[in-house]
């Protein structure tokens, strides 16, 4: 016994085809499945974990899949103080991530060194990796992190992804780059 | 504790009392320090090495001292032993890893930060800074901001062209006074004349005036 309904979507008429721009499709997929690489280095990581919990629920944005392997992640969230000893590890993990990849500097320390003006601390992770989004706070509340991630989604939405398939994806210059 | 300190002092006549605000403290010559600490551990039940650190006096001699904080888990008492290091540029001190295994990492830290060579340490290498770091950062002559050195990781240097740079101090370091009203005890910069406005004015090619972001758009 078969029944057919002629209202709603009819695959015979529509032919299972949707017409759209490839940029729109690629960016729609990318921005709703940003898998973070949690680079938790200090107390910001606690707020990052909190964002993953049910109260703030980062999975509303498709970002709950924290990947501890750089090969499987799209966005490195640098959450905490980056010491010079750790900086090399951060850069190496960034290099190991597959394109396209984004970096979020979460909190004062990752953005600028924060209160650590000393011989041991990298004065902002943007000196060694290109940062897309900076989040203020010491540490930022989970809402601030979610706001930053939503801004990252907006940024991804406006990328020219189709063109980037045939060239190197443009990334922001490092801070204090020697020209 | 009084009878105990008396016993310790009588058993070890070479130690002298050291000024202390809380627990008893002793100065001990370097050649006797291991003997003294072994006695404190085995005979006086100071079974726990709570801390091992160093002091850099910079302009007085001996320049470096090593401080041992020992603790009795039985009686809940502390005792402090301080010994001078022999040698000026390369201070040397005997290791106590044989007595307390925890001294291993403590001595590595003191070596990393002050450059004190612990004789008899099984594996004396840096613990906080990376292995090829050339300085000992807690020595008095080392600036808080640090000094420019190369990153040890060649891949990072190749990818970014960066070096380890001194941190911008912005008029700091900041110190808080112990006395006075709460307002006076606020942390203050050493160089209070510093501000962003003046620094911008000092940079060549920058005309004097309000900071860039405060200037009106014409």
Query: How does residue A177 score in pLDDT terms, banded at 50, 70 and 90?
Result: low
If you count residue pairs, one on A and one on B, with CB atoms under 8 Å apart, how many are there?
Answer: 65
Q: Which pLDDT score is estimated for B99?
A: 92
Q: Which spans in B71-195 are helix H?
A: 103-114, 154-160
Contact between A120 and B151 using a beta-carbon 8 Å cutoff: no
Which residues of chain B does A172 touch, with a Cβ-Cβ cutoff of 8 Å?
A: none
Does the pLDDT of residue B190 top 90, yes or no?
Answer: no
Contact between A87 and B167 using a beta-carbon 8 Å cutoff: no
Compute the nearest-CA separation of A117 from chain B (Å): 6
Q: Are A111 and A129 in contact (CB under 8 A)?
A: no
Contact between B128 and A87 using a beta-carbon 8 Å cutoff: no
Of A92, A121, A177, the CB nearest to B167: A121
Contact between B169 and A117 using a beta-carbon 8 Å cutoff: yes
Contact between B146 and A120 using a beta-carbon 8 Å cutoff: yes
Which residues of chain A does B153 touch, with a Cβ-Cβ cutoff of 8 Å?
A: 88, 91-92
- Rounded Cα gap, residues B130 and B151, in angstroms: 9
pLDDT average, residue stretch A18-26: 87
pLDDT digits (tens, 9 = 90+) for B120-146: 999 999 999 999 999 999 999 998 888
Which residues of chain B does A174 touch, with a Cβ-Cβ cutoff of 8 Å?
A: 160, 162
Question: Quick one: angle between helices B2-11 and B33-42, nearest 10?
Answer: 140
Cα B8-B14-B20 angle, rounded to 5 deg: 65
Of B156, B161, B167, the CB nearest to A118: B167
Task: Give the best residue of B146, B156, B172 to mutate against chain A (max A CB count within 10 A).
Answer: B156
Does the pLDDT of residue B218 top 50, yes or no?
Answer: no
B166 close contact with A: CB closer than 8 A: yes
Nearest CA to B139 out of B43, B64, B30 is that of B64
Burial of A84 (0-12, 13-18, 19+ CB in 10 A): buried
- pTM (2 decimals)? 0.81
DSSP single-letter state for residue A174 = P
Average pLDDT, chain A: 88
Query: How does residue A92 score in pLDDT terms, banded at 50, 70 and 90?
Result: very high
- Rounded Cα gap, residues A87 and B159, in angstroms: 13
Q: In the block, which residue shows the tokens 């003294």?
A: B36
Q: Are B120 and B149 in contact (CB under 8 A)?
A: no
Average pLDDT, chain B: 87
pLDDT average, residue stretch A2-6: 61
pLDDT average, residue stretch B166-170: 85
- Rounded Cα gap, residues A137 and B39, in angstroms: 52
Does the pLDDT of residue A122 top 80, yes or no?
Answer: yes
Which is higher by pLDDT, A15 or A132? Answer: A132
The CA-atom distances, in angstroms, between B77 and each of A91, B9, B34 are: 47, 17, 20
pLDDT digits (tens, 9 = 90+) for B40-53: 999 999 999 999 99
Does the pLDDT of residue A178 top 70, yes or no?
Answer: no
Nearest CA to A113 out of B136, B164, B175 is that of B164
Contacts of B119 (CB under 8 A, 6+ apart): B92, B93, B94, B95
pLDDT digits (tens, 9 = 90+) for B50-74: 999 999 998 888 899 999 999 999 9
B189 close contact with A: CB closer than 8 A: no
Please name the residue of chain B whose CA is at the shortest distance from the CA of residue A119: B146
Compute the nearest-CA separation of B130 from chain A (Å): 6
pLDDT average, residue stretch A145-159: 93
- Rounded Cα gap, residues A76 and B12, in angstroms: 59
pLDDT digits (tens, 9 = 90+) for A46-89: 999 999 999 999 999 988 889 899 999 999 999 999 999 999 99
- At B104, is the secondary structure helix, strand, or coil? helix
Compute the nearest-CA separation of B93 from chain A (Å): 26
Residue B9 is encoded by which pair of tokens? 């002092």
pLDDT digits (tens, 9 = 90+) for A31-45: 999 999 999 999 999
Which residues of chain B does A114 touch, with a Cβ-Cβ cutoff of 8 Å?
A: none
Residue A158 is encoded by which pair of tokens? 């406006």
- Rounded Cα gap, residues B89 and B66, in angstroms: 15
- At B176, is the secondary structure helix, strand, or coil? coil
Q: Are A27 and A71 in contact (CB under 8 A)?
A: no
Contact between B161 and A178 using a beta-carbon 8 Å cutoff: yes
Contact between B162 and A120 using a beta-carbon 8 Å cutoff: no
Contacts of B198 (CB under 8 A, 6+ apart): none
Q: Which pLDDT score is estimated for B191?
A: 81
Of B146, B156, B160, the CB nearest to A119: B146
Residue B118 φ then ψ, to 5°? -95, 110
Does the pLDDT of residue A5 top 80, yes or no?
Answer: no
Q: Which pLDDT score is estimated for A143?
A: 94
Contact between A85 and B164 using a beta-carbon 8 Å cutoff: no
């Amino acid at each position: 016994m078969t029944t057919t309904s002629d209202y709603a979507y009819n695959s015979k008429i529509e032919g299972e085809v949707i017409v759209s721009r490839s940029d729109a499709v690629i960016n729609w997929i990318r921005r709703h499945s940003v898998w973070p690489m949690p680079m938790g280095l200090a107390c910001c990581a606690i707020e990052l974990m909190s964002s993953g919990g049910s109260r703030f629920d980062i999975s509303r944005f498709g970002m709950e899949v924290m990947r501890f392997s750089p090969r499987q992640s799209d966005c490195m969230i640098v959450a905490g103080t980056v010491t010079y000893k750790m900086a090399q590890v951060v850069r190496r993990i960034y290099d190991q991530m597959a394109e396209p990849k984004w970096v979020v500097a979460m909190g004062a320390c990752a953005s600028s060194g924060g209160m650590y003006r000393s011989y041991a601390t990298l004065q902002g992770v943007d000196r060694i990796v290109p940062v897309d989004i900076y989040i203020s706070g010491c540490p930022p509340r989970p809402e601030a992190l979610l706001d930053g991630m939503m801004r990252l989604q907006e940024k991804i939405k406006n990328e020219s992804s189709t063109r980037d398939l045939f060239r190197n994806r443009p990334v922001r210059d490092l801070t204090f780059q020697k020209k | 504790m009084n009878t105990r300190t008396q016993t310790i002092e009588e058993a070890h006549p070479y130690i002298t009392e050291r000024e202390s605000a809380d627990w008893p403290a002793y100065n001990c010559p370097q050649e006797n320090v291991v003997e003294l600490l072994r006695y404190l551990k085995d005979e006086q039940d100071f079974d726990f090495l709570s801390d091992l650190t160093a002091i850099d006096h910079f302009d007085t001699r001996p320049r470096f001292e090593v401080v041992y904080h020992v603790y009795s888990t039985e009686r809940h008492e502390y005792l402090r032993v301080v010994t001078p290091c022999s040698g000026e540029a390369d201070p040397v001190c005997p290791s106590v890893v044989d007595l307390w295994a925890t001294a291993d990492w403590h001595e590595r830290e003191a070596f990393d930060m002050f450059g004190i060579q612990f004789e008899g340490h099984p594996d004396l290498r840096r613990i906080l800074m990376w292995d090829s770091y050339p300085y000992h950062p807690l020595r008095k002559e080392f600036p808080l901001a640090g000094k420019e050195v190369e990153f040890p990781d060649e891949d990072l240097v190749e990818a970014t062209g960066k070096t380890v740079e001194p941190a911008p101090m912005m008029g700091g370091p900041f110190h808080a006074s112990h006395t006075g009203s709460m307002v006076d005890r606020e942390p203050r910069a050493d160089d209070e004349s510093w501000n962003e406005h003046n620094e911008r004015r000092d940079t060549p090619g920058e005309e004097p005036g309000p900071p860039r972001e405060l200037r009106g758009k014409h």
